[in-house]
């Protein structure tokens, strides 16, 4: 046998083979096909410690600043005239409604309940006992405490202070100087977007996704509108609160998403391979159709 052939003979050579097979989930596999969609979220010490740190600092700052807020005196009220308010926000100075105030709290509570109805089945099904609750705490705490800190720095007068038809007591409370920006709008939109994103990730093929978005954003919008009708917020307060809350409701789940690289690595299996005459590596990537 010529020397070159002896070199490549199976007896003296090592053949490295990389076999990559992309297999559909419904094919017959040696391992059982997982029936649950992999959990799209995971906690991270770095991420969550940072977020909870921001929450703690905001909470402390809000508390300290709250002690410095001085309410208006009865003499101060005479200097407020709605003509001083910009045209975009001026309509809010004509509003005062205790019923709308109560309704804003009721719709906010309904928002929390609806979020729970979406989250609890997922908790049970995927056993995400720590991940989802901690994410939701961050979603609610971040906009709530940051907006409270901003309120105590900006000290924007609430619309009802300009309204002669509104009663005197709320005008003389420290809360009368905490209009910007709306905490109810921020919290309600944060909860709404979080719930809709949660549903979208856990049930990507569900036809109910548009319904969830409509219901959740509808509740948040009603809460915000009632704060306007109650005379507690200007439209600009509500728009900033809604934007900030929506950002928090989207961003916090986003930073907890399992990366595609990690997701693939859990489905990629690499094993030694030998057929008696050659040795190599067998790599298998399982792609599950949803």
Q: Of 172, 143, 169, 145, nearest to 157 (Cα)?
A: 172
The reported pLDDT for the residue numbered 233 is 98
What pTM value is reported for the model? 0.76
Higher-pLDDT residue of 130 and 222 is 222
Read off the pLDDT band of 125 (50, 70, 90). Answer: confident
pLDDT for 217 equals 97
Helix (H, G, I), strand (E, B) or coil at 25: coil
Using a 10 angstrom Cβ sphere, with 0-12 exposed, 13-18 middle and 19 or more buried, the burial of residue 214 is: exposed
Is residue 108 over pLDDT 60?
Answer: yes
| pLDDT of amino acid 174 | 93
Model confidence pLDDT, tens digit, residues 217-230: 999 999 999 999 99
Instruction: Note the pLDDT of residue 128.
Output: 74
> What pLDDT sits at residue 290?
41
pLDDT tens digit sequence for 206-219:
999 999 999 999 99
Considering only CA atoms, which of 18, 11, 7, 4 is closest in space to residue 282? 18
Whether the upstream peptide bond of residue 181 has omega within 30° of 0, thus cis, is yes
**Assigned token pair, 138:** 């961050």
Give a three-class secondary structure readout of 119-143. Answer: HHHHHHHHCCCCHHHHHHHHHHHHH
In this structure, of 20-24, 114-118, 177-181, the range with the lowest mean pLDDT score is 20-24
pLDDT in tens, 45-83: 888 999 999 999 999 999 999 999 999 999 999 899 999
Tell me: pLDDT of 182 over 60.
yes
More confident residue, 275 or 289: 275
Amino acid 92: pLDDT: 97
Helix (H) or strand (E) holding 20: strand 18-24
Task: Provide mean pLDDT across the span 35-44.
Answer: 74
Identify the pLDDT of residue 280: 55
- Please tell me whether residue 14 adopts helix, strand or coil conformation: coil
> Residue 11: is its pLDDT beyond 80?
no
Return the minimum-mean-pLDDT range out of 97-101, 126-130, 152-156: 126-130
């Amino acid at each position: 046998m010529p020397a070159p052939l002896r070199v490549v003979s199976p007896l003296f050579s090592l053949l490295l083979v990389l076999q990559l097979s992309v297999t559909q989930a419904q094919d017959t596999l040696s391992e059982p096909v997982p029936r649950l969609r992999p959990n799209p979220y995971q906690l991270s010490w770095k991420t969550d410690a940072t977020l909870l740190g921001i929450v703690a600092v905001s909470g402390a700052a809000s508390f300290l600043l709250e002690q410095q807020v001085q309410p208006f005196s009865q003499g101060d009220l005479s200097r407020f005239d709605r003509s001083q308010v910009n045209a975009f926000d001026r309509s809010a100075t004509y509003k005062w409604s205790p019923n709308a105030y109560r309704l804003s709290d009721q719709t906010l509570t309904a928002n929390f309940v609806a979020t729970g109805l979406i989250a609890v089945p997922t908790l049970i099904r995927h056993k995400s006992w720590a991940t989802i609750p901690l994410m939701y705490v961050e979603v609610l705490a971040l906009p709530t405490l940051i907006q409270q800190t901003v309120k105590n720095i900006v000290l924007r007068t609430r619309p009802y202070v300009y309204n002669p038809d509104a009663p005197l007591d709320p005008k003389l409370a420290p809360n009368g100087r905490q209009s910007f920006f709306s905490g109810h709008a921020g919290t309600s939109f944060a909860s709404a977007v979080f719930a809709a994103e949660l549903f979208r990730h856990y049930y990507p093929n569900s036809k109910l996704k548009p319904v969830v978005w409509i219901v959740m954003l509808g509740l948040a919008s009603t809460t915000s509108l009632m704060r306007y009708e109650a005379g507690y917020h200007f439209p600009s307060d509500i728009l900033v609160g809604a934007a900030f809350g929506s950002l928090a409701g989207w961003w916090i789940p986003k930073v907890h998403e399992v990366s595609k690289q990690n997701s693939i690595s859990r489905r990629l299996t690499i094993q030694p391979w030998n057929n008696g005459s050659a040795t190599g590596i067998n790599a298998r990537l399982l792609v599950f159709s949803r």
